[in-house]
Amino acid sequence: MSDMFEKLSRISLLAFSLFILGSSQYQQQIRGDSFQGERIGILYVSHGGNETYGEKQLWDATMQIFSYDQNSTVYQQIIWNSDYWPQMLKFGNASKELGKYAFEYERIGGVDPYPESKRQITAELSSILDNYENELGVDFIVDKMTWISSDPSELANPRMLFNPGIPGGDPLRYCGTTDPTWHLCDPDRYNVDGPVERMLKIGVDRIVMIDLTTAGARFSKTYDVYTTAKKVIRNYNKSQQTDVTIEWVNDPKELMLTSYPTEPKGWTRSSGSPKDNPIIDYGEYPNPVIGDLRLAQFQVDGIEAEFDAKIALENTGVLLVNHGILSMNQVFDPKINDTLILNQNIKDLLLEKFPEMQSKNILGGWFGDMVRNELVTPGPPAFTQLERTREMRGENLGYILLHDTQNQRPQGDWKFRYWQALEQLRINGVQHIVVVFPQIMENSVLNLVEVPNQIAKEIGYRNWSKIDQLDFATYPEVGHPFADYWGVWVEQTCKVSTDSKQKEPCCFNMGGCPNGQPYPPLRQAPLHVRRDDLDPSLAFDVSHFGHLGYDSEAGMPSEKQPVQNQYAGTWSMWQVTDDHRAVAEFLADKIVEHLKASTTHAGRQ
Say which CATH number the domain at 193 has.
Answer: 3.40.50.1400
CA–CA gap between residue 403 and residue 279 (Å, rounded): 9
Domain assignment present for 512: no
CB of 196 closer than 8 Å to CB of 206: no
Q: Would you say residue 191 has pLDDT above 90?
A: yes
Beta bridge partners of 495: 503
If one counts every other C-beta atom within 10 angstroms of the C-beta of residue 479, the result is: 15
Closest CA to 49 of 147, 142, 172, 185: 147
Residues 168 and 249 in one domain: yes
CA–CA gap between residue 399 and residue 365 (Å, rounded): 12
pLDDT band at 15 (very low <50, low <70, confident <90, very high): very low
- Return the pLDDT at 348: 98
Report which of residues 35 and 387 the model is more confident about. Answer: 387
CA–CA gap between residue 110 and residue 445 (Å, rounded): 10
CA–CA gap between residue 550 and residue 546 (Å, rounded): 8
289-346 tens-digit pLDDT: 999 999 999 999 999 999 999 999 999 999 999 999 999 999 999 999 999 999 999 9
The backbone region for 333, taken as left when phi is positive above 0, alpha when psi lies in -120 to 50, beta otherwise, is: beta
Q: Would you say residue 380 has pLDDT above 90?
A: no
Q: Would you say residue 23 has pLDDT above 80?
A: no
Average of per-residue pLDDT across 80-90: 93
- Strands 540-541 and 485-486 turn out to be antiparallel
Q: Would you say residue 111 has pLDDT above 90?
A: yes
- Return the pLDDT at 34: 79
Domain assignment present for 402: yes
- Domain that includes residue 208, residue range: 2-282+579-596
- Return the pLDDT at 329: 97
pLDDT band at 27 (very low <50, low <70, confident <90, very high): confident
Closest CA to 337 of 260, 284, 267, 265: 284
Residues 461 and 348 in one domain: yes
- Return the pLDDT at 458: 98
Give the global pTM.
0.94
- Return the pLDDT at 497: 87
Closest CA to 414 of 433, 404, 400: 400
CA–CA gap between residue 133 and residue 38 (Å, rounded): 10
- Return the pLDDT at 383: 85
| Portion of the chain with pLDDT greater than 70, in percent | 95
- Return the pLDDT at 598: 58
Residues 301 and 265 in one domain: no
Domain assignment present for 490: no
Q: Would you say residue 4 has pLDDT above 90?
A: no
Report which of residues 578 and 31 the model is more confident about. Answer: 578
CA–CA gap between residue 574 and residue 561 (Å, rounded): 25
Residues 228 and 264 in one domain: yes
Q: Would you say residue 248 has pLDDT above 70?
A: yes
Residues 398 and 253 in one domain: no
E-assigned strands of 453-539? Answer: 485-486, 493-496, 499-505
Domain assignment present for 499: no
520-533 tens-digit pLDDT: 999 999 999 999 99
Domain assignment present for 517: no
Residue-wise over 329-344: b if at least 16 C-beta within 10 A, else e? bbbbbbbbbbbbbbbb
3-state secondary structure of 266: coil
Residues 241 and 310 in one domain: no
Domain assignment present for 355: yes
Domain assignment present for 287: no
pLDDT band at 90 (very low <50, low <70, confident <90, very high): confident
Could you give the C-alpha distances from 81 to 5, 67, 166, 386, 502, in angstroms and in order?
45, 13, 10, 27, 38
Residues 219 and 275 in one domain: yes
- Return the pLDDT at 35: 86
Domain assignment present for 109: yes
Average pLDDT along the chain:
94
Average of per-residue pLDDT across 86-97: 88
Give the single-character DSSP code of 93. Answer: T
pLDDT band at 393 (very low <50, low <70, confident <90, very high): very high
Q: How many domains does the chain have?
A: 2
Residues 278 and 334 in one domain: no
3-state secondary structure of 366: strand
Residues 80 and 200 in one domain: yes
Residues 176 and 39 in one domain: yes
CA–CA gap between residue 507 and residue 509 (Å, rounded): 6
Residues 326 and 265 in one domain: no
Residues 451 and 465 in one domain: yes
397-435 tens-digit pLDDT: 999 999 999 999 999 999 999 999 999 999 999 999 999
